[in-house]
């Protein structure tokens, strides 16, 4: 029988340094709560992980409610007194009684990949370690704990929250990721010996490494090449930097699939953005969650595609445009200065510059339907709910308040039918 680990995710903290009322594990990063990225990685490793436990404390009902909606198989336990990471892990003791091995992670490290976790778990079993620590070598100033080794290069302790000072010729330091694998029995032996840190009045899980070293338990370390994977979110600056790293990763994945991103540094996508091959995304484009873009499209520059929008093949969305909860079919042209909200647009429709769909009446959002091959003139305002028929035309500056018949031409404020288009047109 293959060996497995029980995963314990620490998500109980108050998020003091982030300076927000929202628990940081629920911060949205690319349209998804921070902790969901860790849970996604864990649940993709069913061969290695037998269960996932999340430890809650601060605003536990809120956090548990959000997680439970998407991850039905997560088990929860509660840290009653928020007095440090060691006590957080200790609170899961009863849930772990029948487990042999434990993987511990922090809920605020969204960049860790399933591939890295798989490699780390396999290393833990291969080395037959009592404790394995995931580390990385970092070149920037950090408050991550420093890995300290003895003369034989064995890990002997972790020095918490050390500020790494760059010195000439010495820009690198090995740091602790906060991700560990333990033999369960020895983990709880060590936890019982951890003493309170007098400066912080907390019990630090990192202290267990020195205890294990003094007991001559086997401690192994496994270094991940990309130090960005282990970054956590402790401040708003951290959140911004981690968000940038994740966005870069998402864009790289899209480019591997044949999407052309003109300027990745000014293009922002979400975790589930789908873009077809040969589409081009121009600078200063922002794409929210649940957006799907077809093949051979042109989006931007300065375009905002809001959630639940679907863009069909060969469609062009130009500069200074916003599309919200819409479905645009194939070969649509919407080149300049326009807003569409709650609209279904048929094939080969032209949306003229300055077009606005007024979808909100102050109480409710209403839907609009624009039929195939319709031509919406520049500066048109369509007041929802409304239907513009197939091959209809609205004159420039029209305010459309009623349905427009198929193949008709409407003009004016409010728009009135000017004539019916001839069949030969």
Virtual CA dihedral for 172, 177, 180, 186, nearest 10 degrees?
A: 70
Q: Give the other-Cβ count within 10 Å of 294's Cβ.
A: 20
Residue 244, both tokens: 């940038």
Which residues are bridge partners to 175 per DSSP? 136, 146
- DSSP-assigned states of every residue in 158-219: EETTPPPPPBTTB--EEEEEEEEEEEHHHHHHHHTTPPPBTTTTB--TTHHHHHHHHTT--E
- Which of 304, 316, 336, 366 is catalytic? The answer is 336
User: Any catalytic annotation for residue 366?
Assistant: no
For residue 180, CA distances in Å to 4, 327, 368, 378 come to 14, 46, 54, 60
207 contacts: CB under 8 Å, gap ≥ 6: 86, 158, 194, 195, 197
Smallest CA-to-CA distance from 215 within 194, 234, 231 is with: 194
Residue with tokens 């789908």: 274
233: left (phi over 0), alpha (psi -120 to 50) or beta: beta
Active-site amino acid positions: 336
């Amino acid at each position: 029988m293959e060996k497995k680990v029980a995963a314990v995710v620490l998500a109980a903290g108050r998020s003091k340094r982030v300076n927000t009322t929202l628990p940081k594990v629920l911060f949205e990063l690319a349209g998804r709560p921070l902790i969901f990225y860790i849970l996604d990685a864990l649940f993709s490793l069913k061969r290695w992980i037998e269960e996932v436990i999340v430890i809650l404390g601060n605003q536990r009902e809120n956090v548990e409610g959000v997680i439970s909606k998407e991850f039905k198989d997560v088990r929860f336990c509660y840290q009653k007194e928020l007095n440090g990471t060691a006590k957080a892990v200790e609170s899961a003791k009863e849930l772990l009684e029948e487990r042999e091995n434990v993987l511990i992670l922090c809920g605020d490290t969204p960049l860790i990949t399933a591939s890295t976790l798989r490699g780390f778990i396999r290393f833990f079993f291969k080395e037959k370690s009592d404790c394995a620590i995931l580390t990385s070598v970092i070149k920037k100033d950090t408050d991550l704990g420093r890995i300290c080794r003895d003369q034989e290069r064995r890990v002997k302790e972790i020095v918490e929250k050390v500020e790494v000072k760059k010195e000439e010729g010495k820009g690198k330091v090995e740091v602790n990721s906060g991700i560990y694998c333990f033999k369960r029995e020895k983990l709880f032996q060590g936890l019982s010996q951890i003493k309170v840190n007098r400066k912080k009045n907390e019990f630090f899980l990192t202290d267990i490494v020195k205890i294990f070293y003094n007991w001559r338990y086997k401690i192994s370390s496994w270094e991940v090449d990309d130090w960005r994977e282990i970054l956590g979110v402790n401040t708003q600056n951290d959140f911004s930097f981690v968000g940038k790293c994740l966005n870069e990763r998402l864009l790289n994945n899209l480019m591997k699939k044949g999407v052309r991103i003109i300027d990745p540094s000014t293009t922002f996508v979400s975790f589930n953005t789908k873009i077809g091959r040969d589409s081009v995304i121009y600078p200063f484009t922002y794409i929210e969650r649940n957006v799907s873009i077809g093949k051979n499209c042109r989006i931007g520059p300065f375009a905002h595609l809001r959630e639940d929008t679907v863009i069909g093949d060969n469609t062009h969305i130009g500069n200074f445009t916003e599309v919200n909860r819409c479905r645009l079919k194939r070969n649509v042209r919407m080149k300049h200065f326009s807003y569409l909200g709650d609209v279904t647009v048929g094939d080969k429709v032209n949306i003229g510059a300055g077009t606005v769909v007024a979808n909100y009446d102050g109480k409710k959002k209403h839907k609009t339907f624009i039929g195939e091959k319709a031509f919406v003139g520049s500066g048109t305002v369509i007041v929802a709910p409304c239907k513009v028929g197939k091959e209809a035309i609205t004159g420039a500056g029209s305010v459309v308040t009623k349905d427009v018949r198929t193949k008709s031409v409407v003009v004016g404020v409010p728009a009135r039918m000017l004539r019916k288009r001839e069949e030969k047109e």
